[in-house]
Amino acid sequence: MSNSGGMMALSQPSQLAAKQYGVTKPISRAGPTAADLQRTLELEKFLVHSGLYESEEEAAKREEVLLRLGQIVKDWVKQLTGLRGYTDQMVEEANAVIFTFGSYRLGVHGPGADIDTLCIGPSYVNREADFFFVLHDILANMDEVSELQPVPDAHVPVMKFKFDGISIDLLYASISCLVVPENLDISDVSVLYNVDEPTVRSLNGCRVADQILKLVPNVEHFRTTLRCLKFWAKRRGVYSNVTGFLGGVNWAILVARVCQLYPNAVPSMLVSRFFRVYTQWRWPNPVMLCPIEENELGFSVWDPRKKPCDRTHRMPIITPAYPCMNSSYNVSTSTLRVMMEQFHYGNKICEEIDLTKACWSRMFEPYLFFESYKNYLQVDIVAADADDLRTWKGWVESRLRQLTLMIERDTLGKLQCHPYPHDYVDASKQCAHCAFFMGLQRKQGETVQEGQQFDIRDTVDEFRHSVNMYMFWRPGMKIHVSHVRRRQIPSYVLPNGYNKRPRPSKPTSQVEEPVKSFHVTEVYGSEHVDGTRKRKNEDMAGEKYDVIAKRLSSSAESHDPISSNILDKSVDILRSSTRNRMCLFEVNRFEVLASNGFSADAMSDAQKVRPVESIELSYRGKNDLDKGIASSEQEPECASNSSVITSATSDGGSSDDAGIESVADCAEDNMVGVEGTVREGDEMGSLQDAAREGDPVARLENTVTSAKGLMQVSFGTVRS
């Protein structure tokens, strides 16, 4: 274990009564009990056994790669200095330096993790030509470098590659000096003089990491807690900034804030307090490690009073280095809901651990995404080869958040989406292919009204159009969006035995009353099932056809005479549809209509994909029969089957909306509702002491201040 401090010493910490960390006083300065120390030992043992620490050999290899990369960029700058006609002395003094940030700089990286790096060069070496072309060509010609992928159009321009097997994300920043000093202090605001916005964003990663480490009371406790919670977030499917959840820097700031609120707590205490605090946090009140500062440089900082766009942020987590920004602007209403549900889950397990009713492994059980919803959107992407798929997949993944926002917008928030931040590959397919999935459900507590519809066909078309605007699009890059039911989830996304597990029954308190409106309406749809279930559906369909045949026969006897052979042929036609994979379903309300979006010729190398024709959520009355029959087009090699009609109700997930307004186990009903924005001109109130000695419930006030006194908000009560 390296760059992480290894296993911490579990000695009783000294009381840090003198110094205050953060924008408010701590909730509690209490140190650990013997039980807390024992739980921390057990937690660290679990993290080690889970393989979260790298070996000494890998740590040494990382350091060697960084030294080698540092020498490469120095030689690159010297080469450009000579080509631009500078003197020999200038060429000799020319320099570039490498800084690290992210999980590696914070000391919480694990085996196989990439290294976030920043190259800082002189003012005459630019990003557009020198970095993305000259340095790119130098790296491309090196045997140690593989999977080189430039991303110049990203929000933070980056070059991704592997160097001797170690994944590297390399950024570049050109600062306003001719010679970059070897001992450059990147925390000094002077590095921001005369630089553009992309350069500020590139520099901010390193500056934020350094500030976080300076603003926590105990770095080793912070690292262990952060390592634990990052692992938990990945297991529970809420670790992905690009998908609309939280990334590394977001989790680091959240953990650092809890460390400030409990300065003498050990990791087992901090993990428990983390969930206790954030299940009660009144979003969109911001999480901050220090006051927001303004500077004469004039860069934009997060300020909901002045910038309307900042008022729309659902879960503000503010970076501690100038210019302070919201690092979690990607979070949407849907992803916030999912994270709050997971925070409540973590809080419940921690309470059980504190009562010795559960062990740490229980908290890290993986989230069963494919058992949590009845309906899913499946986004299949294909490309001509693996290299094209790598770039195409990165672009599509970065746009999935937009699909979530579009669906929220077009359904007025009544259709909830849960994008899952993992991609899946069917190893049996011949094409370069991967798939993403998104859970769908009606918003909990919404009353279904007669005739209510959620038609998202135009939404999906808009999403596909935006994706196809990819600047580096190449022939063969295709995207297909289809609707699938839970039983149609392709087997390649499920671990062995996953779909055979009995689904856990809900506790008695969570059993929903039967919804009488969800029963029989006869509709037709396509099906993709196998084995017993398929035969069962066919038998059910056969029984339905027998009923229809009897009705036909009865109608024939009472009206026009029909020859028995014509009637038999009609029945045969009805029965034959089961052999064509047309099954009968009984559904009533909230149905999802989606047609198979692949063309019959999609077996070609280009994997032609045609747009989704219909994705619609509709409310249907008891007697409203859908007579549409799915297309019987052949399913292509890389396509997943799609259901035409299915129920859009949640099944297996939480039946209650884990709303951000609810607060559990508060000793006093004194939660203070505060708007997420403050109008300009509002006067600032004075802070009251939140941590009363001997009081088990302390009032925590989260203060957002700046040189001008930006804003002050409170979010309620938190147990100490």
Q: Which of 86, 239, 278, 524 is catalytic?
A: 239
Sign of the CA dihedral running 6, 183, 57, 108 = positive
Contact 336, 660 (CB under 8 A): yes
- The 3-state DSSP composition of the chain as helix, strand, coil percent (nearest 5) reads 35, 15, 45
103 in active site = yes
What span, in angstroms and rounded, lies between the C-alpha atoms of 482 and 234? 26
Q: Closest Cα partner for 269 from 464, 484, 36, 505? A: 36
Q: Closest Cα partner for 706 from 408, 175, 288, 189? A: 288
Task: Provide the token pair at 694.
Answer: 């001997």
What span, in angstroms and rounded, lies between the C-alpha atoms of 114 and 224? 19
536 in active site = no
500 in active site = no
Contacts of 489 (CB under 8 A, 6+ apart): 370, 376, 437, 499
Q: Closest Cα partner for 77 from 207, 166, 182, 160? A: 182
H or E element that contains 618: strand 615-618
Q: Which of 28, 103, 272, 720 is catalytic?
A: 103
Q: Which of 50, 114, 577, 614 is catalytic?
A: 114
What span, in angstroms and rounded, lies between the C-alpha atoms of 420 and 532? 29
75 in active site = no
Q: Which of 36, 169, 310, 388 is catalytic?
A: 169
What span, in angstroms and rounded, lies between the C-alpha atoms of 431 and 687? 61
Residue-wise DSSP of 361-407: HHHTPPP-GGGS-SEEEEEEEEESSHHHHHHHHHHHHHHHHHHHHHH
What span, in angstroms and rounded, lies between the C-alpha atoms of 258 and 217? 10
What span, in angstroms and rounded, lies between the C-alpha atoms of 544 and 584? 8
H or E element that contains 550: helix 531-558
Q: For the chain, how far is it from start to end, CA to CA, in angstroms?
A: 33
- In terms of Cβ atoms closer than 10 Å to its own Cβ (0-12, 13-18, 19+), residue 455 is middle
Q: Which of 25, 78, 230, 478 is catalytic?
A: 230
**Counting runs of H as helices and runs of E as strands, what totals does the chain give?**
15, 17
Contact 161, 387 (CB under 8 A): no
Q: Which of 25, 36, 116, 345 is catalytic?
A: 116
Phi, psi of 456 (to 5 degrees): -110, 20
Contacts of 382 (CB under 8 A, 6+ apart): 389, 431, 432, 433, 476, 477, 478, 480, 607, 609, 638
Task: Provide the token pair at 355.
Answer: 């009562």
Question: Which residues are designated catalytic?
Answer: 103, 114, 116, 169, 230, 239
